[in-house]
Amino acid sequence: MTATGGIAIGSSPRLAPRRRSWLRSPWLVPLPGFLLLAVLSLPPFLYALYLSFINVDISLPNNKVHFVGLANYAQVLGSPVGQHALLITLIVSFGSTAAAIVIGLVIAYLIHLFAGRLDGLVTVLVLIPLAVSPVAMALVFSLMLDPLYGPVPQIVAFLTGALIAPTGTSLGALLTIIFVQTWQWSPLAVILLLGGIKSLPIEPIEAAMIDGASFWRALWHIHLPLLRPLLAVAAIFEFILCSQVFAATELLTNGGPGNATVDLSLYIYKIGISESSQVSVAAAAGVITLILGLISTAVWLKVAKWDVQVYQ
Amino acid sequence: MKYTSLPAFAFSLMLLPAAAYAQDYEAAVKSSLPDFAQANAFSGVTINVACRHLPAMDFIESHKALFEQYTGAKINFTDYPENDLRSHIVADAANKAGGFQLYCLDDNYIPLFASNKWVQPLDSVIKPAYKIDDLFDSLKSAYSWQGKLSGLPIYSEVTILYYRKDLLAAKNIAVPKTIAELEDAAVKLKNAPRTYGIALRGLRGEGMNVYTWTEWLRSYGGDFLGPQMQPVFNSPEAIEGTEHYAKIIHDAGPPGSGTWGWPQVSSSFAAGRVAMTVESTAFYPTFNDPKQSNVVGNVGYAVVPAGPKGAYPANYAIGLAVAASVDPSSKAFTATSDFLQWATSQQMEFARTAQGIGNEDRKSVNQSALLKSKLDPAYIEAVSEGQKITKTNYRPMIPQWREMGDIIGAHIESVFTGSTTAKDALDAAAAEVSDRFKTEGVLNTPRQYEELFPSN
């Protein structure tokens, strides 16, 4: 810097007139965006927060509305139905995220290794589930799994002689929901990871193979660690998508059998709108969902260390 | 020419009486107008109706021009999907918005709307021409809240036993008259995986599994609420009824039918995959339509089977009620209540029955030659008997019913799928309902309706 001999670089006071300091604030450029976001999303959020601390119930219009503290939160977290919904949310979102990443990774490697010049076509075909509306998909699955008319139980009955109803038991219904979520969102992992696999250097693998490592060892110890930042990004995206279940639980199982597949979003819908009218409890459950989402994302970011370079 | 026109002429002669009948009924609808409203009395009045598509509702809508021309009132129908209708009406009523003068209401909303004073009482304005005593008695009381008439029905149903005459005859099984006989017959008729003995609603919901499960609850002597509004639907009788309902689904129902709603139940019967079902009379047209049904001509009808405490057909009705925002002393109120009575009159019901739109609300239509010429006599008999014995408080007619029913429905579904026992599920539901009643301030207050078994 000193070698430039006093010639100023950049916005020197001598070359440009000094601007007022707030104009140079780093907040200025994104400010309109932040404002727009605040106007659009803060009022409903603040209103939901307000609702969650009072006792609004649409079916009791003559009830006196007053501050109830954390009673609504206690009802969500303290009632068996609310606790179960929380558990189902965690199982479905983590279960389908893990499944989508594993399946996405396997499919991405298969395309990379075997599709050859057809990989463009195969990738487009693999992407189809992403383009299907979740509602249409839930309805198609409910038809396919129908014990009397659906092809899946018919094939199983032909092979084993027993007619089954996949969504007729608690475990079956839960696995079906996880399967549907995985089926819908794993293609996103495929494109993300396929891009990553194609961009990785081939040299470390070649070096390892020359040193006598088997294909699996090279894959496991060299290729996958190189892929880790992308895996982490894919996992975060997958988690955000997979934790937003509604079409499948509402249309395919309707939360059933009983409450077996009622997750937090369906719980909110049922307790606030469709089966009861406890708007305040629903608002509290909404805030809990938001907090849960934030915590989960933070945990993912921490665990995945997606911004840490691997071999540097 | 001659040869073709002769059969055509004969055919038109055959059609002539039927066509004339239909026209007569149409003419009666028009000529009954002076009995319900004054000519040109309501110019400048607009009646907005919040409703949903039903054959009977569409029929009224198609005749609204008659009333408009005669009285000068303007009538607008706003059709909402079934699930949206309630929230629109509740918003209009709770905010006193006055957007609608007539609400389309299920009978089990009447307690909620009447107790919140969201609808106007109608007793003082009912005209002799309306022939209110011609309505089925259970229907009249369903549309009353604490003795005040709060709406008029346009649609009603009860549940009946539908059975396959051919399958029962092949196995030499008599039509079940008791639940024990029903269980026995259902197991004998099961021929898996081709046909199953019975399909019943299992899917959670006040209007789903609770609708038909309540028959079993009542038939075994179970009640919903004690004299102080405390839940008693986890009594030993109620548990026994629930166990029987779950048992017949488990032993004779199609796999997974513990999670079925009425769409699956009715379509499996129409497809010939189940031999019996206890379902709403609303499915008569479906089961007898060759386009939708494989079992046309083989369907038998009977009153629902009885348990130790008798037979309890479920009932459900849809009607219209006048919004509280309409001032009872205003011209708008007279116009609205006149239109409501004309739209749900005996003449209107005969006219729609002549068009093949069934689900009658009136004894006169149920026993008419017109209905007999259109429907299976065994069906008419089952409906008539069912309407006679069904109880208004089959389900508690209280403002809290919907919510309470949905809570029960969610818990008993897991009994029907075998995930839990009847006792555990009903205990959990009773605890949840108790909590809710406590919040609403109705627990330990006197019950506002008559339970069917007053000994509790």
Q: Given an 8 Å threshold on Cβ–Cβ distance, is A146 in contact with B432? A: no
Q: Identify whether B9 is part of a domain.
A: no
Taken in order B231, A269, B117, B111, the sign of the CA dihedral is negative
- How far apart, in whole angstroms, are the C-alpha atoms of residue B54 and residue B358? 11
Whether A146 maps to a domain, the answer reads: yes
- Do residue B328 and residue B350 come from a single domain? yes
Per-residue confidence (pLDDT) for residue A308, from 0 to 100: 62
Give mean pLDDT, residues B429-433.
94
Is B97 touching A (CB cutoff 8 A)? Answer: no
Residue B205 within a domain: yes
The whole-number pLDDT of residue A282 equals 94
Q: Is residue B12 part of a domain?
A: no
Q: With CB atoms and an 8 Å threshold, state whether B256 touches A62.
A: no
Residue B214 shares a structural domain with residue B323: no
**B30 and B66 in a common domain:** yes
> Region B8-20: what's the mean pLDDT?
47
Averaged over B257-284, what is the pLDDT?
Answer: 93
> How many domains does chain B fold into?
2
Using N-to-C axis directions, what is the helix angle for A279-304 and A224-242, rounded to 10°?
180
**Using a CB-CB distance cutoff of 8 angstroms, which residues of chain B are in contact with residue A148?**
254, 264, 268, 271, 273
Q: Which long-range contacts (CB under 8 A, 24 or more apart) does A203-208 make?
A: A204/A311
Q: Report whether pLDDT(B3) > 70.
A: no
Percent of chain B with pLDDT over 90: 71
Residues B139 and B171 in one domain: no
| Listed residues B349, B364, B389: the one ending a domain | B389
Same domain, yes or no: B307 and B162: yes
Domain range holding A254? 71-304
Q: Do A148 and B416 touch (CB under 8 A)?
A: no
Radius of gyration of chain A (CA): 26
Same domain, B163 and B275: yes
Q: Are residues B27 and B114 in the same domain?
A: yes
Domain identity same for B71 and B129 = yes
| B193 at interface of A, judged by CB pairs closer than 8 A | yes
Q: How far is A278 from chain B (nearest CA, A)?
A: 10
Asked if B256's CB is within 8 angstroms of A168's CB, the reply is yes
Residue B15 pLDDT grade (very low, low, confident, very high; cuts 50, 70, 90):
very low
Among A61, A62, A260, beta carbon nearest to B414: A260
Q: Domain residues for B345? A: 19-156+316-389
Chain B, 202 to 221: residues with Cβ < 8 Å from chain A are 202-206
Is residue A9 in a domain? no
Q: How far apart are CA A83 and CA A74, in angstroms?
A: 10
Identify which of A244-248, A273-277, B75-79, B135-139 has the greatest average pLDDT: B75-79
Residues B396-402, mean pLDDT to the nearest whole number: 90
Query: Rounded mean pLDDT of chain B?
Result: 90
Q: Touching check for A42 and chain B: CB below 8 Å?
A: no
For residue B9, what pLDDT is reported?
46
What are the chain B neighbours of A147 within 8 Å (beta carbons)? 254-257
Number of domains in chain A: 1
The predicted pLDDT at position B32 comes to 93
What does the H/E/C string look like for chain B? CHHHHHHHHHHHHHHHHHHHHHHHHHHHHHHCHHHHCCCCCCCCCEEEEEECCCHHHHHHHHCHHHHHHHHCCEEEEEECCHHHHHHHHHHHHHCCCCCCCEEEEEHHHHHHHHHCCCECCCHHHCCHHHCHHHECHHHHHHCEECCEECCEEEEEEEEEEEEEHHHHHHCCCCCCCEHHHHHHHHHHHCECCCEEEEECCCCCCCCCHHHHHHHHHHHCCCCCECCCCCECCCCHHHHHHHHHHHHHHHHHCCCCHHHCCHHHHHHHHHCCCEEEEEEEHHHHHHHCCCCCCCCCCCEEEECCCEECCECCCCEEEEEEEEECCCCCCCHHHHHHHHHHHHHCCHHHHHHHHHCCCCCCCEHHHHCCHHHHHHCCHHHHHHHHHHHHHCCHHHCCCCCCHHHHHHHHHHHHHHHHCCCCCHHHHHHHHHHHHHHHHHHHCCCCCCCCCCCCCCCC
Both B71 and B208 in one domain: the answer is no
pLDDT digits (tens, 9 = 90+) for B326-381: 999 999 999 999 999 999 999 999 999 888 777 788 999 988 888 888 889 999 99
What pLDDT sits at residue A76? 92
pLDDT 10s digits, B193-212: 889 999 999 999 888 999 99
Q: Based on the domain organization, do B409 and B398 belong to the same domain?
A: yes
B248 with B310, same domain?
A: yes
Q: What percent of chain B has pLDDT over 70?
A: 95
Residue A273 lies in a domain: yes
- Residue to substitute from A59, A76, A149, interface B, most B β-carbons within 10 A: A59
Tell me the HSE value of B383 on the side-chain side, using a 13 A CA sphere.
26
User: pLDDT digit of tens for each residue in chain A (312 aa)?
Assistant: 444 444 444 444 455 555 556 566 777 788 888 899 889 988 999 999 999 999 888 777 777 888 998 999 999 999 888 999 999 999 999 999 999 999 999 999 999 888 878 888 888 899 899 888 999 999 999 899 988 888 988 888 888 877 888 888 889 999 999 999 999 999 999 999 999 888 888 888 888 888 888 888 888 888 888 888 888 888 888 888 888 889 889 888 888 788 889 999 999 999 988 888 889 999 999 999 999 888 888 887 777 666 665 554
Does some domain include residue A163? yes
Domain CATH for B82: 3.40.190.10
Which residue would you say has higher pLDDT here, B302 or B9?
Answer: B302
Is the same domain home to B278 and B417? yes
B8 falls within a domain: no
Work out the average pLDDT over B69-73.
Answer: 94
**For chain B, what's the residue count?**
456
Domain-ending residue, one of B389, B405, B428: B389
CATH of the domain at A170: 1.10.3720.10
Query: Pick from B389, B422, B448: which residue ends a domain?
Result: B389
Question: What are B320's strand-pairing partners?
Answer: B104, B152
